[in-house]
Amino acid sequence: MNILVIGNGFDLAHGLPTKYGDFLDFCERVREIYTYDEEVLLNDYRSKNIDDWNMNDYIKNALLEAFEKRNCEIIPTGNNTERVEVTTPNKALDEMYEHIGQNVWFEYFLKCRSFVGENWIDFESEISRVVQNLDELMAIVVNEKSLQGISKDKQEILMNLLNVSNRSLQNLCLSIASIDSLVRFLNIELERLIRALEIYIAEFISKISILQRNSDIGGLTIGHVLSFNYSDTYQRLYGTDEKIRYDYIHGRADINNTLKSNNMVLGIDEYLIKKRRNRETEFIAFKKYYQRIYKGIGCEYKNWIYKIKESGKSIEEKLRAEYSVQIPFLKFTNNMRHNLYIFGHSLDVTDKDILKDLILQDNVYTTIYYHKIYDDTGKDDNGRADLGSKIANLVKVIGQDELIRRTGGSTKTIEFKLQQDMVEI
């Protein structure tokens, strides 16, 4: 079995603007289209703003086309100024604006962009920070019903959020019911933002022409793909074989979905200690495991792991006494050996359970691709920074002892490989 695991770095390597900052930029432009200065006419808007749109050319042109297709009506007012009333035939943008026009989470992240990192992990970490602060606030309300127990930095985090939702922290502290109401409201707003992201991926990202391929990926014979992405980039560029099995572990973007049928997972990891997890469920809707269950996302990869384990079971039973810690990969016969390829995934601890289950099978050989980073002069670092980051993250996933044992000698099952430069199609 050959399994390919891909993360957002896979899309980025293929030139697709799928960082969360790209998504925020897009949402800003959409809102600008719907709420631009009423005294600015179409030509003025285009000439003054197009150069400031630092985004993919296809997406820029799609937005400009949507803007230009709007029906503009000039209406004189009493003070001799002109007002522009507009409509648009673009249903996807109509729906997106409905979800992000006054979205609390969108507003919050616009305010926090200066100190939140550029990766989706950073985005989720910030959501987690807000949720944990609300959790702490709820506990303080129960015990003290005042602001005295909240540190100033935590108050600032909450105020950034509450300011854009027109709510008072002081009033919240007087009522658990008010906090419950806020939590429900924030969950609905997050679902709206997720649906907006689905529209961005399905209606715009999926229509960008991909002009480059990766020789490493193109040279592999893959039978199973575990994707942490919402897009189907691998499937439309490399995975045309109908026999390939896919598991979109965080859901797959589909423009035909609605706010209710959207199955994309965008949330946080468990932060409570074990004795609190089963009884404190006020913020469960924000957690990934809950969203996977609630939205019906299957974990097909678990069946793959089961087959991997079963295939090597007979050898394992014979050799377990001799190799109590790890059975060398070469002790398994060819039909018992499996290959795992990881491309474009940071190996962050947030996906620890999934990655660990795959990597720590003795009859699985893992190849982890790392990439070059270029400076402003175009000089690359030969992948040293990304390699270092992946090694450090992998320690958090499988532990230091496992990493050392599995990257050398007769027990080697992990190797790091510098990915080849992209090739023009």
Instruction: Tell how many helices (H) and how many strands (E) occur in the chain.
Output: 19, 10
- Rounded Cα distance between 404 and 254, Å, is 42
Q: Measure the CA angle with vertex 205, ends 8 and 116; round to 5°.
A: 50
Q: Is residue 307 helix, strand or coil? A: helix
pLDDT tens for the chain, 425 residues: list them. 999 999 999 999 999 999 999 999 899 888 887 876 555 545 555 555 566 667 788 888 888 777 766 544 434 444 444 444 444 447 889 899 999 998 989 998 988 887 777 788 888 988 998 888 888 877 776 665 555 656 777 666 666 666 656 665 555 555 666 778 888 888 999 999 999 999 999 999 999 999 999 999 999 999 999 999 999 999 999 988 889 999 999 999 999 999 999 999 999 999 898 888 888 888 999 999 999 999 998 789 999 999 999 999 999 889 988 998 899 999 999 999 999 999 999 998 888 989 999 999 999 999 999 999 999 888 999 999 999 999 999 999 999 999 999 999 999 999 999 999 999 98
Q: Output the six-digit token pair for 164.
A: 């854009």
| Predicted TM-score (pTM) of this structure | 0.87
In single-letter form, the type of residue at position 271 comes to Y
Q: Report how far apart, in Å, the C-alpha atoms of 409 and of each of 270, 339, 394 are.
A: 36, 18, 19
- Rounded Cα distance between 85 and 277, Å, is 51
In single-letter form, the type of residue at position 46 comes to R
Please choose, from the candidates 351, 345, 350, 338, the residue with its C-alpha nearest in 3D space to the C-alpha of residue 305: 338
Is the Cβ–Cβ distance between 173 and 145 less than 8 Å?
yes
